Amino acid sequence: MANVTIIGAQWGDEGKGKVVDWLASRADIVVRFQGGHNAGHTLVVGNQTYKLSLLPSGLVRGKLGLIGNGVVIDPVALLAEIDRIRAQGLSITPETLRIADNAPLILPVHAALDRAREAARGERRIGTTGRGIGPAYEDKVARRAIRVCDLAEPDTLDWRLDELLLHHNTLLAGLGAPTFEKATLLADLLALAPRILPYAEPIWERLAQARHENARILFEGAQAVMLDVDHGTYPFVTSSNTVAGQAAAGAGIGPDAVGRVLGIAKAYCTRVGSGPFPTELHDATGQLLGERGHEFGTVTGRPRRCGWFDAALVRQAVKVGGIQGLALTKLDVLDGLPALKIGVGYRINGVTSRHLPSGARAQAQAEPIFETIEGWTSSTRGARSYAELPAQAIKYVRRIEELVECPVTLLSTSPERDDTILMQDPFSD
Ligand code: IMP
């Protein structure tokens, strides 16, 4: 039986939560492998709405949730999220949630530095979530991170905090921001340790066992390919690799375990934060998409920028992300629009390109080349089969498949879990 990896194919917020939830109900284990509590997955189950940031979505379905080493974990945020979800009636215990003992921690210094740097950037700010994601990944690569396992060794924590603060306090002072006391940080970490350590273990070992038992594993990506630190619209990206290949390294399993790769894309396009967005709409249609699609960030509440579907961008995400099937969400938001545009390439200083170039200036100057396609008048909301879709909506989906060079294997027509059209089961071999 194949495993499945889900990643975003645009700039995040593609509606992964619903698709992950639906697939999680059929998986045995759900694994997060990158990102942190910058992610926001909204799951609507019956009359309950769960907003998850760090917890693997499968927990809502009573499945074992694993947080891999590729994730950066804010222990305070994790415990707060566990408490919040427990208050909604779900059981989250060290039996249902395991976290990698070699995952790096996000500490208050990281969020402070994230915000201080954003403030210093002014007009050129990235628009981060301000949660310390970038600085925590920097510390991991710089080999000065404090990891989950360090919570069990007070003496290790002590000297590692010295090294960490030498770096961060220098930077914070330079930026005119308050610095941190080692004694306070150490006391806080030691107080958190007994609440975090019961969840910690070598995740790679559990995954090796799960494979041995032929368990179905779902790897749950956060953010999206165009926010990937290598392949996205750098520097307006997050600080982790969001492509499917990261599922292996970020969980501690071989690349052959990644299984089928499903990319999620909205039937239009949105982005939060700064950075290039060639098909962005600054007019009434953009506003309409935002209102109909309830386009506000789950984590920050910021309004999302909206635009037409950019097939050139998604094609690029399909290629670099390893996407084998596309789940198209929020088709119903386009209902009733007389004409729809699809971005098929770019014009940059008079030269046409089929892909978004790597350079920051070239990306900012990229003007979309559009193809126009007739809209549909009847509703697609809640459709559960192709037969229920207007002919023009089917044409739109087929054209997207051609342009992005990837089949649409799943179509979501409302936030409700069952309002889904499945063309191909990703778990099937
Ligand atoms: P960071 O991940 O907080 O460093 O933010 C870097 C960029 O990624 C910003 O543009 C954020 O808005 C964006 N970002 C981070 N997480 C998400 C997400 O879950 N959905 C959409 N955008 C995100």
Instruction: Give the atom of ligand 1 at the shortest distance from the alpha carbon of 130.
Output: 3
pLDDT band at 429 (very low <50, low <70, confident <90, very high): low
Contact 317, 9 (CB under 8 A): yes
What per-residue string of b and e applies to 312-331 under the rule 16 or more CB within 10 Å gives b? Answer: bbbbbbbebbbbbbbbbbbb
CA 33/CA 19 separation, integer angstroms: 17
Question: Which pLDDT tens digit goes with each residue over 361-410?
Answer: 999 999 999 999 999 999 999 999 999 999 999 999 999 999 999 999 99
Atom 12 in ligand 1: residue holding the nearest Cα? 273
Residue list, ligand 1 pocket, CB within 6 Å: 12-13, 38-40, 126-129, 131, 133-134, 222-223, 227, 236, 238-239, 272-273
Q: Quote the tokens at residue 76.
A: 């305070």
DSSP helix/strand/coil, 42:
strand
Q: Is 41 a catalytic residue?
A: yes
CA of 129 to the centre of ligand 1 (A): 6
Nearest CA to 11 among 284, 396, 305? 305
Q: What pLDDT shows up at residue 1? A: 61
In testing the pocket of ligand 1, which one of 238, 299, 329 has its CB within 8 Å of the most ligand atoms? 238
Domains and CATH numbers, the chain: 108-196 (1.10.300.10)
Confidence bin at 424 (pLDDT 50/70/90): confident
User: 102 alpha carbon to ligand 1 midpoint, in Å?
Assistant: 23
The three state secondary structure string of 345-368 is EEEECCEEECCCCCCHHHHHHCEE
Q: Is the CB of residue 104 less than 8 Å from the CB of residue 139?
A: yes
pLDDT of residue 341: 98
Distance CA(143)–CA(164), nearest Å, equals 10
Angle, CA of 183, 81 and 140, to the nearest 5°: 55
Quote the ligand 1 centre to 231 CA distance (angstroms). Answer: 15
Rg (CA), the chain: 22
The pLDDT assigned to 218 comes to 97
Nearest ligand 1 atom to the CA of 114 is 4
The mean pLDDT of the chain is 95
* C-alpha count within 13 angstroms, C-beta hemisphere, residue 321: 37
Q: Which helix (H) or strand (E) holds 90?
A: none
Minimum CA distance residue for ligand 1 atom 5 = 128
Give the distance (Å) from ligand 1 centre to CA of residue 326.
Answer: 22
Q: Which atom of ligand 1 is nearest to the CA of 40?
A: 19
* Percent of the chain predicted with pLDDT > 90: 86
| Nearest atom in ligand 1 to 272's CA | 12
Ligand 1 centroid to Cα of residue 377, in Å, is 35
- The pLDDT assigned to 415 comes to 81
Chain position carrying tokens 């309004």: 303
Residue nearest to atom 15 of ligand 1 (CA): 38
Instruction: Name 30's bridge partners.
Output: 65, 218
- Is the pLDDT at 298 greater than 80? The verdict is no
Distance from first CA to last CA of the chain, Å, rounded?
Answer: 6
pLDDT digits (tens, 9 = 90+) for 202-244: 999 999 999 999 999 999 999 999 999 999 999 999 999 999 9
How far, in Å, is the centroid of ligand 1 from the Cα of 241? Answer: 12
**Ligand 1, atom 20, residue with closest C-alpha:** 12
Q: Which amino acid is at 185?
A: L
Q: Is 95 exposed, middle or buried (0-12, 13-18, 19+ CB in 10 A)?
A: exposed
Q: How large is the average pLDDT for residues 152-164? A: 97
Mean pLDDT of 9-36: 93
Instruction: Kindly report the protein residue whose alpha carbon is nearest to atom 10 of ligand 1.
Output: 273
Residue whose C-alpha is closest to residue 13's, from 201, 193, 209, 222? 222
Distance in angstroms (rounded) separating the CA atoms of residues 13 and 266: 8
**How far apart are the CA of 428 and the centre of ligand 1, in A?**
32
Residue nearest to atom 1 of ligand 1 (CA): 128
The alpha carbon of 238 and the centre of ligand 1 are apart by a number of angstroms equal to 6
- Average pLDDT for residues 179-196, to the nearest whole number? 98
Out of 57, 125, 129, 295, mutate this one to test ligand 1's pocket (max ligand atoms within 8 Å of CB): namely 129
Q: In this structure, which residue's CA is closest to atom 21 in ligand 1?
A: 12
Mutate to test the pocket of ligand 1, among 220, 272, 302, 305 (most ligand atoms within 8 A of CB): 272
* Structural contact between residues 181 and 197, judged by C-beta atoms closer than 8 angstroms: no
For the residues 136-154, what does the mean pLDDT come to? 98
Residue with tokens 């979530």: 129
* CA 354 to chain CA centroid, nearest Å: 25
Partners of 370 in the beta sheet?
Answer: 343
Catalytic pick among 21, 37, 41, 74 = 41
Residue 213's pLDDT is 96
Angle at 351 between CA 346 and CA 352, to 5 degrees: 35
- Among residues 32, 37, 112, the alpha carbon closest in space to that of 74 is found at 37
pTM (predicted TM-score): 0.96
Verify whether residue 168 is a known catalytic residue: no
Mutate to test the pocket of ligand 1, among 6, 51, 137, 227 (most ligand atoms within 8 A of CB): 227
Which of these, 73, 36, 43, 23, lies nearest to 259 by C-alpha position? 23
Asked whether residue 185 carries a pLDDT value surpassing 70, the answer given is: yes
